[in-house]
Chain A
Amino acid sequence: MSCLMNLYETYEANKDFVGKIDYMHSGQSFTLLPVSHTTQTAHIEVAVTEDGSFHTAHVIDKNDRDTIIPCTEDSASRAGAVIAPYPLHDKLSYVAGDFVSYGGKIKDKDHEPFSSYINNLKKWAESPFTTSQVKSIYTYLSKRLLIKDLVAEKILWLDENGQLITKWNDKYKALCGDKKPDIFSSVASGQDSAFVRFTIYSKGKSLQKVWLDKEMYDSFTHFYNEQLSERDLCFVSGQWLPATEKHANKIRNAGDKAKLISANDTSGFTYRGRFNESHEAASISYEVSQKAHNALKWLIRRQARIVDNRVFLVWSIHNDKVINPEDDIYDISHLSAEMEDPSAYTNSEFANQFKKAMDGYRNKLDPNAKVNILILDSATTGRLAILYYRSMQQNVYLQRLADWHSQCVWQHDYRKGKDKQLLAYFGAPATKDIAYAAYGSKASDKVVKGLMERMLPCIVDEKRVPKDIVHSTFYRARNPVAIDRWEWEKTLSIACALINRQEYENNNGRGFTVALDEQNIDRNYLFGRLLAIADVLEHRALKSEDWRLSNATRYMNEFSEHPERTWKTIQSSLVPYQARLGHGGLYLTQLIDDVAAKISYQDFDNQPLTGKFLLGFYSQRHQLYQKKKDADSVTETN
């Protein structure tokens, strides 16, 4: 899995971000965690003076609770009755020496969580890697006075027997000054499970908070590194380093139990047979595991797309935001400032423009940089699988994107611009939109994520677009009766884009343009044009009335199956509209004759039409409306 190696290198290249808090769109904070650290929600903050006595404490405000805390392998994965204290900040039951005397319940009388906590802290405070902060906190906590001090500070509350109130009840109001204390609203499960974090108060110096201090991170990392188990050959880095068998979870989000590397199955013969134990099958060093997982978590929160828990992640080691292959041109132009208005281009101009934009973007990058593309998903709650991994040279990647965006192109007008106006633009549709075009706007996320995964090789490896996707989109696009108008228009332009790409695949790099190709005498294309003219003619005649489906679009599905037979019906239903238009309809009537004349005698039959018929339809309709608009603007200026 050189994927892990690349994640490890990403961590090394972005060390400056360690501990820096950033925010997701949702407002949640995230950071690149230091090695041997994790995040926890703290409820109480205790300030200790430098000489190790109590200073102040307060209940932490809701928006400030996320805390980076040091952790060991055992504490990171502790559960149930296991006693595994975090090294510094932890729950009351671990950090308070007077927990039991205030009625705190512990599972095993002989093994007090506090003694195991304070022994570990002592080791850290006495190690050569210690800092003055650790010593101060250790000095204070070994006095076993925490709850007493917190009660005096009116953070924690006792009932009439001098025991901690476990569950809030209005009858305690009298004891607590006639209102419900903050601690009960911030810790849902009662005072005794409050999480405490410590910091140092100094009169003279302005000290950094303990959990934001880089020196503290390094102090613990070095201290813990000394205690790690024996060395083993790391399958990722190829070096002999302290190994670990416990790997991170919470990769996609805070509630995510799935692990990328796990080995819980000793009976299912996933690795047994040749090997007896999981560490015989593979081993990975603590350092690599920590750094790679931390980098992955950071990247996912920073720039991944998540659809139905499937993670789509594209990144480059050197912290550049990378163009996402799933995006359409609007999202991309967002990234590269050089991209001008993407609406008004034809294929070749567009391709040039796109390349220029890419080049502008490319110049900022290291030419040897690599782009990594990763898809993760889990079939069960406990394990995360790598569904797709690809690492490629940045310029190759950009070239592929440029090819995709100049081959799978058509004119779309379903995107809303900055001012919420529908904007016509020219380019490749986003893979998500392709999914909705192929399976309908109500397609479930499960289907969407599957399609997104299947489209990726088409973009980054120049593979052919799967036929079923093109077909499905085509069948939906030729049936306007079944769906709303806006959805049909969207499906139509996406179908055109896909069919155009198919054309590039079949014809060694020659495709269609939106501009009408009058020289094209392909049967499907011409039939498409005929249908478009009939559609426009009817709408012109109905100008003043409300918009409704024309006969031509109504018969579209049937027409694509039996063009000759259906054309007869459509043409005869056109007669009244032609009559209504009178002389004004002459041009369109002539155009019908022109186009029909181009279809050779033996081609005018009931053979079903292929996708190209949509291209002819779209281009012809586009041209006629374009012409109309030009004529309108001419009259206006007059």
Chain B
Amino acid sequence: MKNSYEFVVYGPYALFTDPLTKIGGEKSTYQIPTYQALKGIVESVYWKPTIIHYIDAVRVMNVIRMESKGIRPIEYGGGNTLANYTYLKEPKYIVKGHFEFNMNRPDLESDRNEGKHNSIFQRALKAGGRRDIFLGTRECQGYVEPCSFNEGSGFYDDREEKIYFGTMVHGISYPDETGRNELEVRLWQPVMNKGVIEFIRPEECSEIRKVKEMTSKEFVLADIETADSLLDALEKGAMR
């Protein structure tokens, strides 16, 4: 398939905040990344409104370990407060995913070229992503590298028993991807089998909660500058 990819992502720390601990400010991480966190990483590597990324599976390579830190968050009203944040220590994941065209964007039909997007994605991946990669939150810098899904040995590879994580957030549905004018949050019950978590697709999640009304941002082609016209402008500038 020309639309699929596999890569490794790792970093010294990760914070996939459990929403229950987020609201009070004492952030504590989930034990495994959410679908949405991985989708965010993929989108940082390469994304266009033309495409939607789907995460198929993640392989947990290192033992799931937590470490807490005393943090001094700055208050928006001035001053600071104290909090304990709990991070995942030395996370490393191999991710398998693919992209599909966003059918809610008929205006971008001319951009639907699988081979092109795939090539750009692979080039961006090789370069470590187009934007900064972070694992959950902004302070947890991460790194991506091309990698095949079954490469290397993981801590949970030989574990016979299945590991259940209870109910977790799967991700957040935005209007431009669902076509509905609301922001929704999806829950699911992940299971890890020999270190691998197979994600279900967003539309397969049965537990969906409406958060609030929201409309997708409008783009018109007039807002988008084509590469050709940009190059033209640059060349003209250079001539001067």
Contact = CB atoms under 8 A, between A and B. Distances in A.
Interface string A378-420: 1110011111111001000000000000000000000000000
Contact of A238 (B21, B76, B207): B207
Contact of A390 (B66, B172, B187, B209): B66
Given A264-B24, A383-B24, A5 B68 contact: no
26 contacts: A1-B18, A2-B31, A5-B167, A232-B209, A233-B187, A238-B188, A238-B189, A259-B24, A261-B21, A263-B24, A271-B22, A276-B212, A280-B212, A281-B22, A378-B84, A379-B82, A380-B82, A385-B21, A385-B84, A386-B21, A387-B86, A389-B28, A389-B31, A390-B64, A461-B63, A463-B65
B70 interface: yes
B167 A237 contact: yes
A1 B25 contact: no
B127 interface: no
Given A1-B28, A268-B81, A261 B23 contact: yes
B111 to A, nearest CB: 27
B169 interface: yes
A267 interface: yes
Given A5-B166, A282-B20, A267 B77 contact: yes
Interface in B17-63: 18-26, 28, 30-31, 63
B223 interface: no
Given A6-B166, A378-B26, A385-B86, 19 more contacts: A2-B31, A4-B20, A236-B167, A238-B167, A238-B189, A268-B81, A270-B24, A275-B211, A276-B212, A278-B23, A375-B68, A377-B68, A380-B82, A386-B26, A386-B28, A387-B66, A389-B66, A453-B68, A457-B67
B87 to A, nearest CB: 10
B161 interface: yes
A130 interface: no
Interface string A544-588: 000000000000000000000000000000000000000000000
Given A281-B22, A281-B23, A267 B76 contact: yes
A385 B28 contact: yes
B20 A261 contact: yes
Contact of A282 (B23, B172, B188): B23
B168 to A, nearest CB: 8
A138 B60 CA distance: 60
A453 B77 CA distance: 33
A265 interface: yes
Contacts of A282: 19-20, 22-23
Contacts of B188: 238
B225 interface: no
Nearest to B209: A233
